Amino acid sequence: MNKNNIFYFKKKVDEIYPDENRPPVDIQNVVSSVMTEIRSISDDDFIETIISCFIPDLYSGMGKCEKLYTKLTELMVGEWWRRIGGDYHLPTKKSGTEDVELMLGNDSIVCDAKVFRLGRSQKAPNVKDFLKLASVRLWIDNLHLTKGRNVIGGLVTYSSLHEWESDSEVYEECTNIDTPIVMLPYEVMALLLKYKDRYDIHDLLGLWNYSENNVKTSRDKKNYWTYITSFICNLLSITDTDYQNEMKEYHRTILLAAKEYRSIVQKSVDDVKKAILTELDRFDDLEQLKEYVAEEIIRRDNSQALDYLKHIDDFRYYRDQK
């Protein structure tokens, strides 16, 4: 695995924002630039990039780095669709619309491109945060009314390291007959790209034809994946064993990528420890050392209270009483 592929989008973000204190950039200009550049990398390299897509854990929550990284992830999904034979549109509207419109002729799929931190506190995301059926329906209606598009359903893309362990409401939402929504982890998308010469992309659209394929609405995780796996195996002319072996190899690669991301967090921890030890080395007197340690612990354990004190001192006064 090539680290340049693992950190493809991270490098783009870090070049623009070496730290969060930099002024915000025009995200659309960055996306347009990367859109041109990413077309030059091979499918094999792109596959490594797409399956290694995680928000770096040390990016501040909803900060400038995370926002840009998220937009580049949406571009990544559109580029995947282009590589297998379609076209795409990235809406510039801030909210109330799909992340990516995947297009093929007059047909469209509304896509919600998910990307998560490896260090998030839950094994899997909250279902209500992951998929909002009403929102997808709204996106479909808007595209139909404003553009006259034939929207066949929705797609949610995500990392399978954040998959639900057992039966869940998410599988029920993704087997809704009236609003077909497929959720695909990035390694399955990688497989579809790897074997793109084996099928016509028009046939892939059949995955959303739930009524004709006799999909039953169910919370059952096994039922959902049996349907998805069977369809893809037939589409690619591979056996279930072939499919499972491909997934196993992708999972091995994904874990290698996760190890690289983890090492960044570990290095941050180690660097802080080293800095603390260096700071402590300057003390010869035990009482001074104790005072320093006490002050640091107070600062750590009372950070919010200390902020309150600072705000009181800085803002709550009358000029005629100073």
pLDDT tens digits along 67-96 = 999 999 999 999 999 999 999 999 987 678
Fill in the DSSP letter of residue 55: B
Q: Judge if 175 and 89 occupy the same domain.
A: yes
Q: What does the alpha-carbon distance between residue 181 and residue 207 come to, in Å, rounded to a whole number? A: 10
Q: Judge if 97 and 125 occupy the same domain.
A: yes
Q: What does the alpha-carbon distance between residue 230 and residue 6 come to, in Å, rounded to a whole number? A: 30
Q: Judge if 267 and 245 occupy the same domain.
A: no
pLDDT tens digits along 117-151 = 999 888 899 998 899 899 999 999 999 998 999 99
Q: Judge if 138 and 281 occupy the same domain.
A: no
Q: Judge if 221 and 185 occupy the same domain.
A: yes
Q: What does the alpha-carbon distance between residue 187 and residue 247 come to, in Å, rounded to a whole number? A: 7
Q: Judge if 212 and 188 occupy the same domain.
A: yes
Please give the sequence-ordered ranges of beta strands (E in DSSP) within the chain, or none if there are none.
87-89, 100-104, 107-113, 150-158, 181-185
Tens digits of pLDDT across the chain (322 residues)? 899 999 999 999 999 999 889 999 999 999 999 999 999 999 999 999 999 999 999 999 889 999 999 999 999 999 999 999 999 999 987 678 899 999 999 999 999 999 999 998 888 999 988 998 999 999 999 999 989 999 999 999 999 999 998 999 999 999 999 999 999 999 999 999 999 999 999 999 999 999 999 999 999 999 999 999 999 999 999 999 999 999 999 999 999 999 999 999 999 999 989 998 898 898 989 999 999 999 888 888 988 888 888 888 888 777 877 6
Q: Which of 224, 240, 261 is the last residue of a domain?
A: 261
Task: Find, among 163, 177, 91, the residue nearest to 133 by Cα.
Answer: 177
Q: Judge if 160 and 306 occupy the same domain.
A: no
Tell me the residue type at 160.
S
Question: Domain limits at 298?
Answer: 262-321
Fill in the DSSP letter of residue 160: G
Q: Is 182 in a helix, a strand, or coil?
A: strand
Please give the sequence-ordered ranges of beta strands (E in DSSP) within 167-280, or none if there are none.
181-185
Q: What does the alpha-carbon distance between residue 27 and residue 128 come to, in Å, rounded to a whole number? A: 27
Burial bucket for residue 257 (CB in 10 Å: 0-12, 13-18, 19+): buried
Q: Judge if 229 and 271 occupy the same domain.
A: no
Q: How many CA atoms lie within 13 A of 239 on its CB side?
A: 3
Q: Judge if 248 and 309 occupy the same domain.
A: no
Q: Which of 212, 239, 261 is the last residue of a domain?
A: 261
How many beta carbons lie within 10 A of that of residue 307, not counting itself? 10
pLDDT for the residue 312: 84
pLDDT for the residue 322: 66
pLDDT for the residue 122: 86
Number of domains in the chain: 2
Q: What does the alpha-carbon distance between residue 152 and residue 137 come to, in Å, rounded to a whole number? A: 11
Q: What does the alpha-carbon distance between residue 157 and residue 182 come to, in Å, rounded to a whole number? A: 9
Q: Judge if 167 and 292 occupy the same domain.
A: no
